[in-house]
Amino acid sequence: MAKKKNREPGQLAQLWEVYKVTRKHNPMVTLWTLLVLVGPLALAAAGCGIFAGGNPVNWILWLVLGLLVGILLALITMGRIAESTAYRQMEGRPGASGAVLSGALRRGWITSDQPIAVNPKTMDCVFRAVGRAGVVLVAEGPVTRTQRLVDDERRKSVRLLPNVPITVLTVGPDTSSVPLTQLSRRIKRMPKVITKSEVLIVSKRMSSLGHDMPIPKGIDPKRVRSMGRPR
């Protein structure tokens, strides 16, 4: 008997799964999604009364346009709520920053959910992202505990690539830390200082340092991708 091939769930099934998981932790997702869906449709109906006159074709076109815009905005809204919910669920857990980097930073960035340095006693760690903003070191944990790890990694990076900007961000309990929910946005807004071809060169040079370490237990790096990116 031939074995049935395991099929990937369809887009609607994935979308429904994302919605169910998000609703479990954030019941308001239903209300916000419906409001965003109905809003453009209501505006389209109002526009019909003003501009369409008695022409039924214009009414249909306006309503279809309003529905399509509403669906698009509803999907975007649900995706952002799902992503924010996933981040809040991961906040404070070891390896959360790496999951965000590998899941939310895509185009133009080379990342890994594996830390480049870990304190085995405290589970504080440092992750690295390479992009057109240069090298970004993300320390996870209190500044007082991660400072030494960061200084070591920064020293290695500067020695290897003296002309490439090195930026340090901290995700932790300190008031100066970047909230996990804003980490990817903060990195994406950094000014571009090197070219795309230089990004690959920098990444290869940095990978020569090796020392990628196993991801701390407690975080599934695929979780943020599945919740934050309904397909």
Of 45, 61, 90, which residue sits at a domain end?
90
Mean per-residue pLDDT of the chain:
82
199 or 212, greater pLDDT: 199
Longest dimension (CA), the chain: 74
Q: Say what the pLDDT of residue 6 is.
A: 57
The domain boundary, picked from 71, 90, 109, lies at 90
pLDDT tier, 216 (very low <50, low <70, confident <90, very high otherwise): low
Q: Are residues 66 and 150 in the same domain?
A: no
Domain assignment present for residue 225? The answer is no
Residue carrying structure tokens 């919605």? 19
Is 29 part of a structural domain of the chain? yes
Which pLDDT does position 227 carry in this prediction?
47
Q: Is residue 54, in this structure, part of any structural domain at all?
A: yes
Give the DSSP H/E element, type plus range, for residue 172.
none
210: exposed, middle or buried (Cβ count in 10 Å: 0-12, 13-18, 19+): exposed
Number of domains in the chain: 2
Same domain as 103, residue 214: yes
pTM greater than the 0.75 cutoff? no
26 with 74, same domain? yes
The predicted model gives 67-75 an average pLDDT of 91
Judge whether 231 lies within some domain.
no
Identify the band that residue 1 occupies on the pLDDT scale cut at 50, 70 and 90.
Answer: very low
- Considering the domain architecture, whether residues 55 and 85 belong to the same structural domain is answered as yes
Residue 50 located in a structural domain = yes
Q: Which of 61, 90, 119 is a domain's end point?
A: 90
Query: Are residues 15 and 65 part of one domain?
Result: yes
Helix axes 221-228, 56-90, angle to 10 degrees: 160
Residues 102 and 195 both lie in one domain: yes
Give the residue with greater pLDDT, 208 vs 145. Answer: 145
> Is residue 128 in some structural domain?
yes
3 domain-assigned: no
Taking only the tens place, the pLDDT of each residue in 176-197 is 899 888 888 899 999 999 998 9
Give the pLDDT confidence score for residue 231 in this predicted structure: 43
| Domain enclosing residue 151, as ranges | 96-220
Kindly state whether residues 199 and 105 are assigned to the same domain. yes
103 shares a domain with 82: no
pLDDT for res 168: 95
Same domain? For 103 and 203 the reply is: yes
93: left (phi over 0), alpha (psi -120 to 50) or beta: beta
Residue 5 has pLDDT above 60, yes or no: no
Flag whether pLDDT at 56 surpasses 70.
yes
Question: b/e map of 19-33 (b: 16 or more CB within 10 Å)?
Answer: bebbbeebeebeeeb
Q: What pLDDT does residue 138 have?
A: 94
Within a domain: residue 230? no
Residues 173 and 198 both lie in one domain: yes
Same domain? 84 vs 39: yes
The confidence band for 167, taking pLDDT boundaries of 50, 70 and 90, is very high
Are 73 and 175 in a shared domain? Answer: no
